[in-house]
Structure 1
C-alpha cells in the first residue's frame, strides 16, 4: 500500500505544489508577454512601413482658368525619406474633340503644408495665383490617345457591337502617365496638397471622365524585407520582442524576490555564509588562540610575585577557598614532585631486582637469612611509605 501511495505523496508534496504553481505562473506570464510582443510588432510595422500605395481622386475645374485643373489633399499619408513613384491615370472618352486635340500636357505640382486652399469650391484660386514658395515639386509630361485607323476601328466596333449594346464596354480609354520616379521628401517638407492641370493646345478642351494621382512606395532595406517577407519578419521580430520582455521580467522577478524575501530565508542564507566563513577561518583562529596562550604564559612567568607567603581567601557559599601560591613555592613543589617521582622509579627497579634474586636462590625459611631479607624489605617498604606520605 505504501508503494502505491508513494507516487501520490510525491505528486502532492510541498515542493511539487510549489513547482506546479511556478509553472502555471510562468506560462501565464509568457502568454501575456507574447501577446504584448505581437501588439508591439503590429504597432511597429504600421509606424515604420508606410502604405505601399496612396491614391487621390482629382476633381477638375472647368471655366475658371485657361486650362482645366484640380486640387486634392494628401493628408499625412506620405512619409519622409521614402522613395515614391508618381503616376497619373486619366480616363477619357474616344470622342472627336479628344482625338482632334492630339498631344496635350499634364502638369503636376506638390504644395507644402503652408498652402491653404479656398474655403468654397465655387471660387477656387486660379493656378497663376499660387505662389512659387509653396511649390515643393513640379513636373510636366505629355500624353496622347492611342491611334487606330478607320478600318481597324470600324471592324473592332462591329465585332464587339453586342458588348456595346449591353453596356459592357465603353468607347473610352484610360491613360497611365508616369509623372515622377523615386521622389523623396525631407523631414518637414512633405507635401499636403497636389495641383493637376490639363494643358491642351489653344482652342482645344479635353473631355475627361476621371483623373487619379497615385503614389507608389519603393521599399528598400528593412522595409522591403518586412513588406515582402511578412511572416518571416513577424516571427523574427516577435521572438526578439518576447525574448527581451522575458529577460526583463526575469530580472525584475529576481530583484523583487531579493527585496521582499522572507526573513527566515535571509537568516538561513546568512547562517550558511557565516558557517562558510567560520570554516575558512578555523585555522587562523586556532593559531591566534595558541599565540595568545603563549603570550599569557610568558606574561605570567615575567610577572613578579606579590608575596612570598602562600595565602588562602574565603569564598561565599560552598565554594572551595581561593589559594595563592607564590612563584618560588610553586617551583619548590614542582622540584619535590620531580624528586619523589624519580625515587619511586628507583625503588620500583630495586623491587624488580629483589624479586629476581628470590627466584634464583633458596627461600631460606626459618633461617636468619630469610628473616634478614624480609626485615630489610619490610623496612624498605616502611621507609618508602613514609617518604611518599611526607611528600604528599
Structure 2
C-alpha cells in the first residue's frame, strides 16, 4: 500500500470522526427539550391534581356551598339587624335640642308709656350706656296650646354684666380693627334658663311659646328659645352610651332573627319533605299479600 493510499484513508477517518459529534448534537438537544417538557408536565400534574380532586370532590363542594350560604346569611342578618336598630332609634329617640328664633314685637308708644314686647331664651343685646343704666329686668315665658290657653309659665331676672368706662375704652381699642370691618359687634350674650323639669302632657301638646320682657328700652339684636330634652331610662343610655347600647340591640335583633329563621327553616323542610314523601308513596306500586285458609275438610281450594 502506497503512502497516498494511507493518507487518503487517514483523511476519511478524520472526516468521519469530525462529523459524528455534529450529527449527534441535534439528537442530544431534542432529548433535553423532551425531558424538560416531561418534567414540567409531571410537575403541573402533581400540583393541579390535588386541587382538582378537592374542587370536584362532592364533599368539598358541599362544604363550600354551605360556607357560602352561611356567610351570606350572616351578612344578611347583620345588615337587617343594623337597619332594624337604626329604624328603632329614629322612632324611639326624640330630638335632643330644639332651637327656634324669637321675634319681638314693638308697638308705637309715647315716651311716658311703654308696652312690653312679645315674641313667639337666649338674648344677644347691645352694650350701650342706656341698657346698662336700666339694671335688672325680667324675662317671662309662657307655653301655649292650640286654642291659646297657657299650660305653664316661668320667669327669671337678668342683668347685663357691668363694664366700667375704662374697661369699655380698652376693649374697643383692642378690638378696633374687627369692629371697623364689621366682623364683631359691641354686644353681650345672655343665656337665661326659664323652666326646668317640665313634662309635656300628650293630651295638651305645646304649639306656641310667648316670651315677655319687662321693659321695651332694651336693645336686642336677636333672641332664640331653646328646648332641651332630659332623657331618662332607656333613652338616657341610648343617647349617652350609643355604641354599647347599639351593640346590645344589634346582637339581640340578630339572635331573634336566627331563632325565627331556624323555626321557619324547620317548618319549610317539614312541609316540603312531607309532600315529597306523599308523592313518592303515590307513585310506588302497592304490594298486596293474600292469605289462604283451608276449609273445614282440610282441602286447600287452590290445590
Q: Distance in 2 between matches of 1:152 and 1:315?
A: 136
Q: Distance in 1 between matches of 2:79 and 2:51?
A: 37
Matched, 1:222 2:266: no
Matched, 1:110 2:124: no
| TM-superposed deviation, 1:61 | 0.9
Cross-structure match for 2:92: 48
Cross-structure match for 1:354: none
Which among 155, 168, 185 is matched to residue 153 of structure 1?
168
**Contact preservation (8 Å) 1:30, 1:246:** no
Matched, 1:198 2:213: yes
Cross-structure match for 2:119: 70
Q: Distance in 2 between matches of 1:187 and 1:167?
A: 46
Q: Deviations over 1:124-155 (max 9, x none)?
A: xxxxxx5xxx2111111111111112222223
Which among 43, 56, 76 is matched to residue 12 of structure 1?
56
Cross-structure match for 2:245: 233
Q: Distance in 1 between matches of 2:162 and 2:218?
A: 16
Matched, 1:101 2:134: yes
**CA 1:264 to 1:7, structure 2 compared with 1: closer, same or farther past 3 Å?**
farther
**CA 1:95 to 1:14, structure 2 compared with 1: closer, same or farther past 3 Å?**
same
Cross-structure match for 2:66: 22
Query: How well do the aligned residues superpose, as a CA RMSD in angstroms?
Result: 3.2
Q: Distance in 2 between matches of 1:19 and 1:261?
A: 22
Q: Distance in 2 between matches of 1:151 and 1:250?
A: 80
Q: Deviations over 1:2-61 (max 9, x none)?
A: 9x9677556534454344333323322332222111111111112222222111101111
**CA 1:45 to 1:264, structure 2 compared with 1: closer, same or farther past 3 Å?**
closer
Which among 239, 245, 257 is matched to residue 245 of structure 1?
257
3-state SS of the aligned residue for 2:224? Answer: strand
Cross-structure match for 2:159: 144
Structure 2 stretches of 5 or more lacking a match? 1-44, 109-113, 281-295
3-state SS of the aligned residue for 1:179? Answer: coil
Cross-structure match for 1:274: none
Q: Distance in 2 between matches of 1:105 and 1:315?
A: 123
Cross-structure match for 2:101: 57
Which among 63, 67, 76 is matched to residue 32 of structure 1?
76
Q: Distance in 1 between matches of 2:156 and 2:119?
A: 16
Larger Rg: 1
